[in-house]
Structure 1
C-alpha cells in the first residue's frame, strides 16, 4: 500500500507540532521545510528540507520529485512570499493545500496599542512617539524587519533573537539578547522591568507563545505598536493542530 507524502512548510513551533501529530498516522511520510536562516534550528519529526526551493518553479519541481500528495502551510503569518508560491504550485499541480492560521491577538481593556498596517508605518509611528523624548524600545519584528528601524536615532533598542542579526550593526544604539521562545509571562515581565522598556514594537503573529509579552506590557501599562497581519490566504484553513489532522485525512485519506 502506497504512503502519502506530506510537505509541511515550516519554520514555526506550530509546524513542529503538526509534524509530530501527522507522523502518527500510518503511511504518512512527513517532510518539513525550514528556511535555513538559523544555524541550529529545532528539527521536526520526519525528514527536513533546509533552505529555499528556488521560487515557484523550484517548489513545483520539489513537489513533483518527491511525489507530494498534500501541502500543509504552517509558515509564519507574515511569510507571504512562500504562501503565494505554495498556492501557485498547488494550483499548477492540483496538489491540495491546507493553511494553519493562528488566532490573531485582539486588544483588550488595559492595552495601549497603536495599530499599523505594515512595518514602515510602525517605524513612522515610533519616530512620532520618540520625537519629544528618547525611548527604550523592545523591538520584536523578526530579523528581516529590523532594517526599517535602524535609522531612528532618538531611541535605544533591545533586540532578542536566536542568533545575532547582521542588521544590528546598522543601529546607532542597540542591545542584543539571545533567546529562543516560547517565553513565559514572568520571563517577559522581568525583561521589560530590568531593561526599563518604554515601548514595544511587534507584529500580530497570533497564537499563544508570543502573547505573553503583550500581557506583560498590559500589566506595566506600556504602549505597544502592533503591525496587523496580512490578508489570510484563500482555501482550506484551520486554527488548531487537531483540525489540521482532520483536514489532512479528508484531503488525502490514510493510505
Structure 2
C-alpha cells in the first residue's frame, strides 16, 4: 500500500490537472498552486493555493510551513521564473522535486518551420515566411509582448488569447480573438480559413491541447515561426503523469 504524501503541484497546465486527479485518487493529499496562470483557471482536484507565492522565499515558507513531502513543477514550459524559483525553494526546504513537462513538438514532413528565440526574432524573420499581402499572421503566443507587433506595421495580425489585452500597438492592423482551447482540427481549419492565416507565430508548448494549429499549418503548407523552449530545469523530470505517480510511490 502506498503511504500517503502531502504534495504541492505548481500547476496551470492540463498535465498538472491530470496529475492532481491521479494523485488524489492514489490517496495523496494534493495542493495545487495556480500562481501565474489565467485569471479564470479550471479548478483541479484537491486543495487550491490562490495568489502569488512570493518568489523563492514565499515558496520556501509554504513548503516548510505546511510540511510538504514532495514538489512537482508542472507549469508551462515557458514559465522560466516559477521553475527557477521551484529549484531553489526545494533545495532550501529539503523537499524532493520533479519537473513534469510534456514533450515539445518536432518538425515533420511538410512542415515549414523557422526556429526563433522569441517574439522579437519571429517578427524579424517574418518576411522570409510570408509577404504582407498573403493574409494575416496568427500570433498564438499569449497576451504579453504584443507591443512588439509595432515593428511590422505592414502586416495584419490575428491574436488569440484567453485573457483580455489592455492595449494593442497603435498603427497596426490587429484582430483580437478571446477564446480558450483546446481546439480540434475542425475548429482550427475554420479559424485559418476565416482569418486567411498566412503564417503562424507560436511557442513550442508541446502537448495535444494546442497542437491542432500546427497540424493545420502543415496541411496548408503555412510557415510556422516556432519559438524555442528555454532550457529545462535541472534535476529529475518526467514527460507523463503516470511517471510522476510512480515517483510518489
User: What TM-score do the two structures reach when normalised by structure 1?
Assistant: 0.90
Partner of 1:70: 70
Other-structure match for 2:19:
18
Residue ranges of structure 2 left out of the alignment (5+ in a row):
none
Whether the 8 Å contact between 1:151 and 1:171 is mirrored in structure 2 is: no
Q: Alpha carbons of 1:61 and 1:171: their partners in 2 closer, same or farther (altered >3 Å)?
A: farther
Contact kept in structure 1, 2:160 and 2:178, CA below 8 Å: yes
Cα distance change, pair 37–247 in 1 and its aligned pair in 2 (3 A): closer
Q: Which residue of 2 aligns with 1:178?
A: 178
Q: How far 1:118 sits from its partner (Å)? A: 2.4
Q: What is the 5 A alignment of 1:74-223?
A: 74-126=74-126, 129=129, 133=133, 135-168=135-168, 172-223=172-223
Contact 2:203 2:226 in 1 (8 A): yes
Contact 2:104–2:205 (8 Å) recurs in 1:
yes
Closer/same/farther in 2, CA of residues 167 and 50 from structure 1, 3 Å limit: farther
CA distance in 2, matches of 1:61, 1:160: 37
Q: Deviations over 1:121-150 (max 9, x none)?
A: 112112665676475111001222433324
CA shift for structure 1 position 186: 1.0
Match of 1:46 in 2: 46
Tell me how far apart the structure 1 counterparts of residues 17 and 167 of structure 2 sit (CA, whole Å): 28
1:98–1:235 Cα contact (<8 Å) kept: yes
Three-state SS of the structure 2 residue aligned to 1:19 is helix
Counterpart of 1:226 in 2: which secondary structure?
strand
User: Which segment drifts farther, 121-130 or 203-212?
Assistant: 121-130
Single out whichever of 129-138 and 154-163 deviates more from structure 2.
129-138
Say if 1:158 and 1:98 are closer, same or farther in 2 by CA, change over 3 A.
same
**Contact preservation (8 Å) 2:137, 2:157:** yes
Give 1:63 shift: 1.1
Counterpart contact for 2:155–2:172, Cα < 8 Å: no
Indicate how the Cα distance of structure 1 residues 12 and 190 shifts in structure 2: closer, same or farther if over 3 A, else same. same
3-state SS of 1:190 partner = helix
TM-score under structure 2 length normalisation: 0.92
